[in-house]
Amino acid sequence: MDGKEFDALVRSRRSMRIYDQEQPFDGLAVQRSLERAVLAPNSSNMQLWEFYRVRDKEKLRVVAKYCMGQKAATTAREMVLVVVRRNLWKKHSRFMLQHYEQYYKEHPEQSHRLNRFKKYYGRMMPMYYFQDWFGLWGRVRQLIVLFASFSRPVVWQVRKQDLRVVCHKSAALAAQTFMLSMQAEGYSTCPMEGFDSKKVKRYLNLPKGSEINMIISCGPPTKEGIYNERIRVPNESVIREL
């Protein structure tokens, strides 16, 4: 794909509010798009996300009700929940470390790099992601960063609320990859933030500690599903050169 093709793809993607109920819908396109979404860049390659496909008609009906009954939900042929799983950091840290240990076992000529990954996933990630009930370790991290900043550049975003933002940013990157993939597959999507997250989470029995980043509806497009022309503030107002 060259720049012109990608430009056409990006410009053709619009948030679809009404989906066609008569046209065929290939669920395998959703699976392919999710497999592409997990290739999206994410913080420290921790991949603290999960994707839940809602395909059952009754579940679609109930989730659409919790999405405030908006037509992008009530006419959806399928919905995908992009879910942040920050509490999986231990499991994913171990996975990454085990992967690198196995990789460098098979490539001993590069084994000198292993210590870097042991330090990163064995020490840095626990220090970064660990949280206690009272948030005391977050305060300690702030002090560590403050003193370190006197001698070198540091990452200041080390509090619990900062980590939530980091994880949601990574999930959003995956969500955009998914939507562009669905557009390339010939289907439309609509990212929805207007939903009752507590009711959706309870109804679908999502894991404890999970947070819904967004719900993306999918389906064949309709002309009436695009409510208005695309409006953006002028590029010169948001694109800056320093």
Decide if 147 is inside a domain.
no
3-state secondary structure of 192: strand
Say if 217 falls within a structural domain.
yes
Domain membership flag for residue 70: yes
What is the Cα–Cα distance from 166 to 57, expressed in whole angstroms?
34
Is residue 198 in a domain? yes
The per-residue pLDDT of the chain, averaged, comes to 95
3-state SS class at 54: strand
Is position 128 within any domain?
Answer: no
Q: What is the enclosing helix (H) or strand (E) of 37?
A: helix 27-37
Distance CA 57, CA 25 (A): 14
Assigned domain for 76 exists? yes
Confidence of residue 80 (pLDDT cuts 50, 70, 90): very high
Do the domain assignments include residue 103? no
User: Whose CA is closest to 16, among 57, 75, 67, 81?
Assistant: 75
Which residue range is the domain that position 36 belongs to? 3-86+162-229
Q: What is the DSSP letter of 207?
A: P
Task: Round to whole Å and give the CA distance between 187 and 184.
Answer: 7
Q: Domain count for the chain, please give it.
A: 1
Dump pLDDT digits (tens) for 5-47: 999 999 999 999 999 999 999 999 999 999 999 999 999 999 9
CA–CA dist 97, 122 (Å, integer): 7
DSSP assignment letter at 38:
T
Q: Residue 125: is its pLDDT beyond 90? A: yes
In a domain, 52, yes or no: yes
Q: What whole-number distance in Å separates Cα of residue 152 and Cα of residue 209?
A: 34
Handedness of CA 205, 16, 19, 182 (dihedral sign): negative
Instruction: Give me the CATH number covering residue 20.
Output: 3.40.109.10
